[in-house]
Amino acid sequence: MYRADSELPHSWEGRRRGGLPNPELRLITAGSALGMSLLYASGYFLPLLAPTGVYLLPTRSLFQAVVLPSAVVALAGTAGLLMIGALLRASRMPRSSATLLLLLLVPMTMIALKGILDVAGIDWQNRIPRTRELLSTQRAVKLLVGVGVAVGLWWFRGYLAKIGRLVASLGYAYTAFALCRIVFVCNSDPSPGGIFTSPALAAASPEFARPAAAPAATATSGIRSRRVVWVIFDEADFSRIYPATPVPGLDLPNFHKLAGAAVFATQANSPASATLFSLPALLTGSALASPGVSVSASGSLSIDTPNGTRIPFVEANTIFGALAGRGLTASVLGFYHPYCKLFALLRCDNFPWPGTTSVAAAFESNLPGIIAARSGHPDTWSEITERMLRLLPEYLARDDALTFIHLNVPHLPAAYADDRLHLAASPDPLVEYSRNLGVADHILGDIVRDLEGRAARHDLLLIVSSDHWLRNRWYQANQPEVERPVPFMVWKVGDTQGSVISQPVSTVHTETMVLEWLDGKITTESDIAEWWRGQTFDPTFIAPHT
Q: Which amino acid is at 127?
A: R
Q: In angstroms, what is the minimal distance from the CB of 52 to Zn ion?
A: 15
Q: In angstroms, what is the minimal distance from the CB of 466 to Zn ion?
A: 8
467 binds Zn ion (CB under 5 A): yes
Nearer to Zn ion by C-beta: 34 or 276? 276
64 binds Zn ion (CB under 5 A): no
418 binds Zn ion (CB under 5 A): no
Bridge partners (DSSP) of residue 541 are 272
Q: In angstroms, what is the minimal distance from the CB of 270 to Zn ion?
A: 9
87, 42 in Cβ contact below 8 A?
A: no
Nearer to Zn ion by C-beta: 454 or 473? 473
Q: In angstroms, what is the minimal distance from the CB of 190 to Zn ion?
A: 30
Q: In angstroms, what is the minimal distance from the CB of 411 to Zn ion?
A: 6
Candidates 53-61, 192-200, 255-263, 465-473; binding stretch for Zn ion (CB under 5 A): 465-473
Q: In angstroms, what is the minimal distance from the CB of 8 to Zn ion?
A: 56
Candidates 68-76, 130-138, 200-208, 227-235; binding stretch for Zn ion (CB under 5 A): 227-235
Nearer to Zn ion by C-beta: 234 or 538? 234
- Per-residue binder mask for Zn ion (CB under 5 A), 425-464, x = binder: ----------------------------------------
Helix axes 359-366, 30-49, angle to 10 degrees: 100
Give per-residue burial for 245-271: e unless 16+ CB within 10 Å, then b: eeeeeeebebbebbbebbbbbbebbbb
Q: Cα separations (Å) of 36 from 39, 105, 152?
A: 5, 8, 22
Nearer to Zn ion by C-beta: 225 or 507? 507
Nearer to Zn ion by C-beta: 20 or 282? 282
234 binds Zn ion (CB under 5 A): yes
Give per-residue burial for 471-501: e unless 16+ CB within 10 Å, then b: bbbeeeeeeebeebbbbbbbbbbeeeebbeb
- Per-residue binder mask for Zn ion (CB under 5 A), 326-365, x = binder: ----------------------------------------
Nearer to Zn ion by C-beta: 64 or 269? 269
Nearer to Zn ion by C-beta: 315 or 467? 467
Q: In angstroms, what is the minimal distance from the CB of 327 to Zn ion?
A: 32
First to last CA, the chain: 56
**CA–CA gap between residue 397 and residue 399 (Å, rounded):** 7
67, 182 in Cβ contact below 8 A?
A: yes
Q: In angstroms, what is the minimal distance from the CB of 534 to Zn ion?
A: 28
- Per-residue binder mask for Zn ion (CB under 5 A), 275-304, x = binder: x-----------------------------
Q: Cα separations (Å) of 54 from 127, 185, 342, 381?
A: 25, 8, 12, 21
449, 387 in Cβ contact below 8 A?
A: no
Rounded to the nearest 5 degrees, what angle is found at the Cα of 506, between the Cα atoms of 272 and 265?
Answer: 120
Q: Element (H or E) spanning 460, and its range?
A: strand 458-465
Nearer to Zn ion by C-beta: 207 or 467? 467
Nearer to Zn ion by C-beta: 234 or 349? 234
**CA–CA gap between residue 63 and residue 57 (Å, rounded):** 12
**CA–CA gap between residue 482 and residue 328 (Å, rounded):** 38
162, 23 in Cβ contact below 8 A?
A: yes
- The whole-angstrom distance between residue 138's C-alpha and the CA centroid of its chain comes to 34
Candidates 170-178, 231-239, 400-408, 416-424; binding stretch for Zn ion (CB under 5 A): 231-239
Bridge partners (DSSP) of residue 301 are 295
Q: In angstroms, what is the minimal distance from the CB of 434 to Zn ion?
A: 18
Nearer to Zn ion by C-beta: 205 or 472? 472
Residue nearest to Zn ion (CB): 275
Q: In angstroms, what is the minimal distance from the CB of 334 to Zn ion?
A: 12
Candidates 25-33, 230-238, 311-319, 400-408; binding stretch for Zn ion (CB under 5 A): 230-238
Nearer to Zn ion by C-beta: 185 or 295? 295
481 binds Zn ion (CB under 5 A): no
Q: In angstroms, what is the minimal distance from the CB of 353 to Zn ion?
A: 11
5, 11 in Cβ contact below 8 A?
A: yes
Nearer to Zn ion by C-beta: 62 or 486? 486
**CA–CA gap between residue 437 and residue 470 (Å, rounded):** 11
Q: In angstroms, what is the minimal distance from the CB of 546 to Zn ion?
A: 10
- The whole-angstrom distance between residue 317's C-alpha and the CA centroid of its chain comes to 23
- Per-residue binder mask for Zn ion (CB under 5 A), 256-275, x = binder: -------------------x
Please count the residues of this chain forming the interface with Zn ion, following the rule CB under 5 A. 3
Nearer to Zn ion by C-beta: 56 or 74? 56
Say whether 544 sits in a helix, a strand or coil.
coil
Q: Could you give phi then psi for residue 545, rounded to 5 degrees? A: 55, 35
Q: Cα separations (Å) of 308 from 86, 270, 290, 304, 317?
A: 62, 20, 9, 7, 16
Q: Element (H or E) spanning 105, and its range?
A: helix 94-119
Q: In angstroms, what is the minimal distance from the CB of 118 to Zn ion?
A: 19
Nearer to Zn ion by C-beta: 234 or 400? 234
Candidates 45-53, 229-237, 427-435, 493-501; binding stretch for Zn ion (CB under 5 A): 229-237
| Residues lying near Zn ion in the complex (CB under 5 A) | 234, 275, 467
